[in-house]
Amino acid sequence: MQFERIKVFISYSRSNIDLARLFVEELKQSNYDVWIDWESIPPSTEWLNEIREAIEETDIFLFLLSNKSAKSEICLTEITHANKNKKRVIPVALPGLLIEEVPKEIQKYNFLFLEDQTKNQISILCKEIVKTINTDFYLIKQHTRLQSKALEWINKGEDKSFLLRGKELQNAESWQSKVSEHELPITAEQALLIYKSRRIINKQIRSGVIIGLVILFGVMLLSVFAFAQKNLAENESFLRATAESIAVEEKVEAEKQALITESRYLANASSNLLDDNLPLSLLLAKESYDIYPTSAAIDSLAMAIEINPEIIHNSQVHVNNVNDIAYNENLGVYVTVGDHTGVLWDAKSHEQIRLIDNSTITSVNFSQDGDI
């Protein structure tokens, strides 16, 4: 598959601008697109939005880590947004860096160390960086593509026309399985986009199967009727019963297999999100179980509950069943729906905030403004 060039975002302190220029030169020689902010201007809303968009569209976040950049509010804002979008972060420790003063959220990464500030040493280090990036070239590029599409879909109000289809969906699902094997991060937005896209396709498949079976049944019925005119009356009854039995069995089996496939897919998506987004993981696990209680669905639901058993107490508000769950990461809350009653919960403490009593409520979601 043909991809555009790797895009690299460089975060640095203005005091290291000369070093940053050398890194830019070396990376461009490797045919990489480099995004770097050379301007020294006070941050504004428009400027910060430009920075965030650049990070969202980039493949690699290269952090030139010095004692000043480690304490820079702008640099910390940039790496926080990179982490939110699960970007590949490569920190380069510049000479003189005091590791103990580096924020803990940055210390978790594997550093590359620049021994001195000569152009030769920077060239050697950049070759090592390029080698690391090229190892997972396809996975990194597909990560950026899917995150951009997922954010566009969300910004468009989850318009169905922006969902994945055909080969694009197959490639996304193939990528998802590969990043799990390579322990690469997947964002909640990406997982939700792939899940919603597959769900729409499965619904279309089920509808097509039903229509096909109806047509097949009609054709077979006409054939049986014509044949019955030439044979004994008892043969008519026998052949019709056979045709109906075959059609019903094929329909039941086709629907069953479609449900099992969708259930397993949701269970896998739920497992991938256990550590990063528990409410969304639980939502996917419950949806998987409700569609078809496969062993994978039961396991994913059990793991989500085991990680946070407080979730069990929430369901006790709904006597018979929890029909739907919606989660709002920005507000830190989620809503459960069951027995025609909705309950708003705190996502951290799992304490009830308020009841939503409505005899017609069966499902729930959050708007872009955070309204239920």
Residue ranges of the chain with per-residue pLDDT less than 50: 1-2
Residue 241 placed within a domain: no
For the whole model, what pTM was predicted? 0.46
Q: Is 337 helix (H, G, I), strand (E, B) or coil?
A: strand
The residue among 82, 17, 29, 20 whose CA lies nearest residue 51 is 82
Q: Where are the beta strands (DSSP E) in the chain?
A: 7-11, 33-35, 60-65, 88-93, 112-113, 324-328, 333-338, 341-346, 352-357
End of a domain among 91, 119, 135? 135
Please give the C-alpha separations between residue 359 and each of 259, 319, 336, 340, 341, in angstroms, as whole numbers.
29, 15, 15, 5, 7
Residue 261 placed within a domain: no
Q: How far apart are the first and last CA of the chain?
A: 42
Q: Which domain holds residue 115?
A: 7-135
Please give the C-alpha separations between residue 353 and each of 108, 121, 338, 342, 357, in angstroms, as whole numbers.
35, 57, 16, 11, 13
Name the average pLDDT for the chain: 80
Residue 106 placed within a domain: yes
Residue 1: the pLDDT is: 44
Instruction: Give me the number of domains the chain comprises.
Output: 2
Pairing status of strand 112-113 against strand 324-328: unpaired
Measured CA to CA, the distance from residue 312 to residue 325 in angstroms comes to 13
Measured CA to CA, the distance from residue 73 to residue 215 in angstroms comes to 65
Residue 224: the pLDDT is: 53
What are 333's strand-pairing partners?
328, 346
End of a domain among 135, 151, 177? 135
Q: Please count the CA atoms within 13 angstroms of the CA of 363 that sit on its side-chain side.
A: 3
Residue 26 placed within a domain: yes
Residue 369 placed within a domain: yes
Residue 105: the pLDDT is: 81
User: Any idea what the CATH number is for the domain that residue 129 is in?
Assistant: 3.40.50.10140
Residue 160 placed within a domain: no
Residue 179 placed within a domain: no
Residue 73 placed within a domain: yes
pLDDT tens, residue by residue, 156-209: 888 888 788 888 787 777 767 776 655 567 777 878 888 888 888 888 777 666
End of a domain among 115, 135, 155? 135
Residue 2: the pLDDT is: 47
